[in-house]
A and B are shown apart, each in its own frame.
Chain A
Amino acid sequence: MSRAVLSGNEAIARGAYEAGVLVASAYPGTPSTEILENIVGYPEIDASWAPNEKVALEVAIGASFGGGRAIACMKHVGVNVAADPLFTLSYTGVRGGLVLVAADDPEMHSSQNEQDSRNYAKFAKVPMLEPADSQECKEFTRLGFDLSEQFDTPVMLRSCTRISHGKSIVELGERVSGLPAPKLTKDAPKLVMLPGNARVRHPLVEQRIVDLSAYGDGAAINRKEMRSTKVGIICAGVVYQYVREALPEASVLKLGMVYPLPHNLIREFASQVEQLFVIEELDPFIEEQVKAMGIAVTGKAIVPLCGELSPGRIRAAFAKVGLAEAPAAADSITEPLPPRPPNMCPGCPHRGLFYTLNRLNAYVTGDIGCYTLGFMPPLNAMDTCVCMGASVSNASGIVRVLSPEEQRRVVGVIGDSTFLHTGVNSLMEMAYNRVPATIVILDNRITAMTGRQENPTSGYTLKGVPAPEVDLAELCRVLGIEHVRLIDPNNLAETRRVLEEEMARPAPSVVITRRPCCLIKDATRFSPGPPLCIEPDKCTGCKACLRLGCPAIEWLPSSDGKKGKARIDSLLCNGCTVCQQLCKFDAIIHQQG
């Protein structure tokens, strides 16, 4: 059998392939994105991006109802968007097996919150598996499909950043064969969830949880590892790896299924150790249930609630109760070092817009994407950011409480992918209720933040097949927005003029900034302009160009007490010319030769 070093996401994709999955649907979101990006490498699977997570899950549900195995993948907050179908899918159950992957992001490496997806499993009453390395990612994905069909339930697979983006060695297997061929089957009592039918289904859902708990008592994925019986630890997922490293002597109950819990197995383990602990990231999810069973256990009293765990953090927690040696204090660097936050790329089409919003003293209700970086200095042009789609509805809400003077300052900004994700409904609200806010759609033709995924404005699909392009301007008009303007954000004069006009207008309006993302690799869609440079003799050191915060422009302080000068790194410059438009002294020119 062949082996490979795979990330958790690659291994989940492999597991879906080996499980005979026919349909995969997802909306990108770190750390889940690469699952679908790897599934697309298996031509047997119909893999595609959906405009949002609710749609992705519903596509998978449809495929399952047709009798095919299907997977939907999303980041933790995506499950909020997909929660509506999820809760009723729990009642209908499945025909073909269905796995929903939720990738959590403890520590918020790339997220706006660190919600714990395990609560969804309990809330929706569906089983949840949690792998601890890439091998388990593959195996648990396969197992998820079997359990899904055996127990007539969707199965959630919970990953996290360290599992999804961690790599370890995986043994590869073959794709299963002989699954029943999909075909239409009428089964209204199971699939039509009206009150009369749902009332019949609900007790089945409750019984399913009891049955799954009993399954968990004997399942190999929940395993006891008995070592010293002084300390016993219940844990799951990547935390198991940290525990093995931090407390190598401790006995461990490693859970592969974190909901429902295997009650008998937990009782047995608890009776075999002197002191019982639950170590888990984020919420006291297992701990509270073990306590509800009447078992004495310590968890969040010593383990942090917020952020990621690590072997060091676990050792520190156990040192507090005298059960481990405190980790040696790390060597530190005392002098302040300049931080290195992420920044918009050189030539990013979002930069000119945020520069202009800053100059116009706009109050910007923001949204999620690369353009969220517009809040960073020196652009400083974003004032709120809640969740995808919220920019438009937040703008609509905020103007309702403001004076006409202040109303004019409100501008909502939203990316093309985010607009199609959940902004369309919000704009419909704004148009419908005649709310006089200005919305800017930053149309860079791609979902850039998560790594350049295709979306319905891109003109092609995940598989690279040409697709109809959503006409954003037309879409806004049919929603009822009368004033829709299309501009080039790299033209600063035009951007300023149009924004001024639309902000002053006491009616709903939309400005679409159309310019492809400079990370798009295909030269027919984006090609950089010739790089610029600064003529030192003409540069007066006024620093106007620095206000753009472009990574290609550097300030060179002078050593002899005179004014410094700016310099452009021609290797980084994408030739967007925005800085050139700002220079009053014509010091920024195209390179000679």
Chain B
Amino acid sequence: MNDKITNILLVGVGGQGILLASEILAEAFMLAGLDVKKSEIHGMSQRGGSVVSHVRFGREVSSPTVPEGEGDILFGFELLEAYRSLPLLRPGAEVVVNDYRIAPPSVLLGQAAYPDDIPARIRARFPDFLLVDGLHLAQQAGDVRAANTVLLGAVSKRLPIDVAVWQQALEKMVPKKALEVNHKAFAMGRAL
């Protein structure tokens, strides 16, 4: 393993379970014997605001935050937030986004429009782009609430960690009764 640090950004809307997903990532990197740091803002962001979580791994990681313009992988839980975060990425970064929209206040009030064709706009800037129908796949796995795990599965394929380690991290972080569904959801995401 070289000295390169890999920078992952998880973005979405407060309440979508972004923190848990980033904890699972961090746990997996530690179990794989890597150094890992993560950072995000709690507090006001829980009330439906934008959330950005930074996860960095490598041989030795200093800053807990990803320097602007150096994100390697964007893991988007919501379309608009994924699009908004593109400036955090380096050219050629990989983008995995949940095909899901949550209207922000001005759109709810009819004062602004939710930008359409976000997937096409993302693809135009970042050709390495995967749009995931997380909700639908999670439903097939047995529970819509496992949508984040589907995405995690899709992201996992882009990371240098064995499936067994991912499974171990899931087992540690996901409640027992939800484990089976989550393993299934993870595998579905990974197969994309």
Report yes or no: A310 in contact with B67, Cβ–Cβ below 8 A. Answer: yes
Check if A340 sits within 8 Å of B30, measured CB to CB.
Answer: no
**Least CB separation from A167: chain B residue:** B38
Query: Which segment of B102-110, B174-182, B183-191 sits at the interface?
Result: B102-110
- Looking at the complex, which of A80-88, A184-192, A265-273, A341-349 is the stretch in contact with chain B? A341-349
Does B46 lie at the interface of the complex (its beta carbon under 8 Å from any beta carbon of A)?
yes
Cβ contacts under 8 Å, A400 to chain B: none
B9 within 8 A of A: no
Closest to A163 in B: B64
A337: chain B residues at CB < 8 Å are: 80, 83-84, 115
Residue of B nearest to A75 (CB): B43
Give the residue of A241, A312, A328, A376 whose beta carbon is less than 8 angstroms from that of B62: A241
Q: Mark A160-197, 1 if CB is under 8 A from B, else 0.
A: 01100111110000000000000000000000000000
Interface string of A246-261 (1 = CB under 8 A from B): 0000000000000000
- Per-position binary interface string of chain B over residues 67-78, scored 1 when its CB falls under 8 Å from any chain A CB and 0 otherwise: 111000000000
Question: In the complex, how many angstroms separate the beta carbon of A313 from the nearest chain B beta carbon?
Answer: 9
Whether B83 lies near A333 (C-beta < 8 A) is: yes
- In A1-36, which residues have CB < 8 Å from any B CB? 3-5, 30-31
- Residues of A close to B83: CB separation below 8 A: 333, 337
A337 CB, nearest partner CB in chain B, Å: 6
Nearest chain B CB to A73 CB, angstrom units: 15
Within 8 A of A (CB), among B87-109: 87-89, 91, 103-109
Determine the distance from Cα of A332 to Cα of B83 in the docked complex, in whole angstroms. Answer: 11
Question: Does the CB pair A244–B14 fall under 8 Å?
Answer: no
Per DSSP, are chain A's interface residues mostly helix, strand or loop, or mixed? loop
User: 1/0 per residue B9-30: CB within 8 Å of A?
Assistant: 0000110000000010011001
Interface residue from B30, B88, B106 paired with A5 (Cβ < 8 Å): B30
Determine if A165 and B41 form an interchain contact, defined as CB atoms under 8 angstroms apart: yes
Given the complex of chains A and B, what is the CA–CA distance between A5 and B45 in angstroms? 23
Given contacts A5-B27, A167-B38, A333-B86, contact A242 B63 (CB under 8 A): yes
By the criterion of a CB under 8 Å from any partner CB, how many residues of chain A are at the interface? 56
Q: Shortest CB–CB separation between residue B41 and chain A, in angstroms?
A: 5
Contacts of A133 in B (CB 8 A): 37, 64
- For this complex, 21 residue pairs linking A to B, each with C-beta atoms less than 8 Å apart, are A4-B30, A109-B43, A166-B64, A167-B26, A167-B64, A168-B38, A241-B62, A244-B62, A245-B62, A312-B68, A331-B69, A331-B89, A332-B87, A333-B84, A342-B49, A343-B105, A345-B48, A450-B43, A551-B108, A554-B107, A564-B110
The 8 residue pairs across chains A and B that have the minimum distance between CB atoms? A110-B43, A555-B110, A342-B47, A166-B64, A342-B49, A30-B43, A166-B39, A340-B104
Could you tell me which A residues sit within 8 Å of B by CB distance?
3-5, 30-31, 109-110, 133, 161-162, 165-169, 238, 241-242, 244-245, 310-312, 327-328, 330-333, 335, 337-345, 370, 373, 376-378, 449-451, 543, 546, 549, 551, 553-555, 557, 564
Name 6 extra pairs, CB < 8 A, besides A167-B39, A546-B110.
A167-B36, A245-B63, A338-B105, A339-B104, A340-B48, A555-B107
